[in-house]
């Protein structure tokens, strides 16, 4: 009986140790992927605003958004080569979550949904979930705030439709406004979160 209790206690201790090790390792390496995807997304968004503002027909330039997964994955491959890490079950679960979110975000333009708020919702869910695993309340709050901020796009569309006719403020102008809002939210969601995680990593080292 005592041996059984010891086995249960040892198993619980092993699981707790694995979770704590995973949290520590994830916190150590988590900030950089947020910064990679955050800065890539913001840079592409700014390029979209500049190019579309100068173009008469802006629809061909919408393909420029696919630069995000291309550049992002290349930079992540370089990062993973430099940071060779041993992964466990929790790490693989978080990686699977972000892979699923990435695939969903990539396919969204082909589904006909309103892409900007849906992408922000997906990234917000991933951020809040990841922050919950590593027990970072600040980043978790940022993730939830981003989920709610996705409603801003619908509010802006409603206001613009009430204040202006489509001839006064057409599809191109509305798209530019939405690009700017998207860039600001993604900066706060990914870039700020990445810097917070990296700052806390430095604090742990000290």
For the segment 112-131, the average pLDDT, to the nearest whole number, is 95
pLDDT reading at 5 higher than 80 = no
Q: 165: how many CB neighbours lie within 10 A of its CB?
A: 9
pLDDT digits (tens, 9 = 90+) for 26-50: 556 678 899 999 999 999 999 999 9
The string of DSSP letters for 3-22 reads HHHHHHHHHHHHHHHHHHHH
Q: Which of 16, 32, 18, 13 is nearest to 88 (CA)?
A: 18
Q: What is the pLDDT of residues 88-115, one digit of tens each?
A: 677 788 889 999 999 999 999 999 899 9
pTM: 0.84
Contacts of 29 (CB under 8 A, 6+ apart): 83, 85
Per-residue model confidence (pLDDT) at position 56: 82
Are 90 and 18 in contact by the 8 Å Cβ rule? The answer is yes
Q: Cα(104)–Cα(102) distance, rounded to whole angstroms? A: 5
On whether the CB atoms of residues 181 and 156 are closer than 8 A, the answer is yes
């Amino acid at each position: 009986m005592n041996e059984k209790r010891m086995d249960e206690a040892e198993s619980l201790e092993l699981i707790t140790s694995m979770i704590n090790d995973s949290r520590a390792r994830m916190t150590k390496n988590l900030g950089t992927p947020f910064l990679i995807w955050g800065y890539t997304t913001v840079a592409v968004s700014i390029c979209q605003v500049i190019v579309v503002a100068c173009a008469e027909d802006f629809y061909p330039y919408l393909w420029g958004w696919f630069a995000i997964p291309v550049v992002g994955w290349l930079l992540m491959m370089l990062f993973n080569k430099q940071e060779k890490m041993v992964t466990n079950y929790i790490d693989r679960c978080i990686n699977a979550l972000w892979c699923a979110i990435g695939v969903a975000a990539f396919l969204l333009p082909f589904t006909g949904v309103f892409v900007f708020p849906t992408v922000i919702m997906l990234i917000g869910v991933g951020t809040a979930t990841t922050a919950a695993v590593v027990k970072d309340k600040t980043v978790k709050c940022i993730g939830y705030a981003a989920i709610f901020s996705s409603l801003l796009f619908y509010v802006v569309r409603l206001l613009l439709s009430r204040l202006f006719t489509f001839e006064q403020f057409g599809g191109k102008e509305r798209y530019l406004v939405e690009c700017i809002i998207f860039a600001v939210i993604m900066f706060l969601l990914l870039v700020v979160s990445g810097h917070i995680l990296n700052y806390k990593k430095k604090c742990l080292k000290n």
